[in-house]
Amino acid sequence: MTRTNRVPIGGTLPHVAGVRVGHSHRRSAGWQTGTTVVFVPGGAVAAVDVRGGGPGTRETDALDPRNVVDRIHAVCLTGGSAYGLSAADGVMTFLEARGLGVRVGAASNEVVPVVPTAVIFDLGRGGQFNNRPDASFGARAAAAARPHRIRRGSVGAGTGAVAGGLQGGVGMASLPIDLGGRSITVSALAVVNSIGSVIDPITGLPWLPTAGLRRPSRADRHALAAVVALPPPSLNTTIGVVCTDAEITRAEAGRMAMSAHDGLARAVRPAHLMMDGDTIFALSTGNMAFATDEPTEQPRAETSRAALLSRLFAVAADVFGAACTDAVVSASTISARLAYRDLCPSAFARWARPT
């Protein structure tokens, strides 16, 4: 049985021009953790929406549209729980060296970089509780950021992730749409480390239908059921970024982050629990202005700004949900937690991810 998806898994966050992604991780000698940095050299309008009951975040208040920070240049996603927030220090150093941040003086280096950060709980997953990301992880991930050939799966911030008993990871997806006569791109990156599952234990397929995957064999479904039936860790979260090149305001970016949580909840079941730290950042490079009816005219319902934004936000939900699915489908077994592709190889007989 083959299922299709309105938003095929494929593409990367940097399908929005001007966005780069870098990873840094360790997976040996008691380590299984890492950091992922989304770097926007030209800056981006940013917002955040936090839905989980146990978030670990930094600089999220700075993104409130009532506050002074207008644009940021990087987002840090990392393992290490609250300890891992120090990874952002390395990203700050990276940005400072390039004169990127809130300018506070006349000299080129007189800036204060604002690096919004969110963490997942992966402490002890590699065997040593005190092995977690520090500033060096953030600096390396930022330095490694690039616009193409981005790795996904059990890398970066997803290295120590567990999703519904399976190995979690980093996933990405993107989709071009027509918005007011302009070609707009919406993309997403998700780090899935959830108590909820991305996989339907009955069918053995993702909750969100994925192009090319087929229903696993009976033997593979039995193997999967045995793993997902085990009680998963109780400290979990899904974090990520949804991005567009559409020119939107900070308040509108906040609405886009809110909509992306709908995609999270479709892909990961259950989500937004008390011990989750589910957090999604929204970024807009603002490179593409889209046309709407002039305010002096009688606007047509389908071309009003509200209508076009609603379409943008609906796609943001679809793309973020696809990125969550991609994170688990692309993951590989690292240690004790088996990956979906290793438990259900028969599901991948015809699967090929579009680039």
Per-residue pLDDT of 46-66, as tens digits, reads 999 999 888 999 999 999 989
Across the range 162-188, mean pLDDT stands at 92
Q: Would 93 be classed as within a structural domain? A: yes
Whether 271 and 196 have beta carbons less than 8 Å apart is answered as: yes
Provide the token pair at 189: 């990156």
Q: Would 35 be classed as within a structural domain? A: yes
The one-character DSSP state at 85 is G
Across the range 282-291, mean pLDDT stands at 87
Q: Which range among 5-14, 96-105, 232-241, 242-251 shows the weakest confidence by mean pLDDT? A: 5-14
Q: Would 293 be classed as within a structural domain? A: yes
User: Three-state SS for 84?
Assistant: helix
- Mean of the per-residue pLDDT values of the chain: 90
For the stretch 244-254, pLDDT in tens is: 999 999 999 99
Across the range 271-292, mean pLDDT stands at 87
Helices (H), the chain: 87-96, 135-144, 218-228, 250-267, 305-329, 340-343
pLDDT given at position 109: 83
Range of the domain at 86: 13-348
pLDDT given at position 90: 98
Structurally, the chain folds into a number of domains equal to 1
Cis peptide before 270 (omega within 30 of 0): yes
What is the spatial distance between Cα 271 and Cα 344, in angstroms, rounded to a whole number? 24
Q: Which amino acid is at 272?
A: H
Query: Is the pLDDT assigned to residue 31 strictly greater than 50?
Result: yes
pLDDT given at position 3: 37
Q: Which residues of 81-97 are buried (b: 16+ CB within 10 A; e: fewer)?
A: bebbbbbbbbbbebbee
Q: Would 317 be classed as within a structural domain? A: yes
Q: Would 66 be classed as within a structural domain? A: yes
Whether 314 and 145 have beta carbons less than 8 Å apart is answered as: no
Q: Would 49 be classed as within a structural domain? A: yes
Query: Is the pLDDT assigned to residue 232 strictly greater than 80?
Result: no
Q: What percent of the chain has pLDDT over 90?
A: 72
What is the spatial distance between Cα 185 and Cα 16, in angstroms, rounded to a whole number? 6
- Predicted TM-score (pTM) of this structure: 0.92
pLDDT given at position 286: 86
pLDDT given at position 53: 86
| 96 phi/psi in degrees, rounded to 5 | -55, -40
Residue 276 is part of a domain; what is its CATH number? 3.60.70.12
For the stretch 184-221, pLDDT in tens is: 999 999 999 998 999 998 999 999 988 789 999 999 99
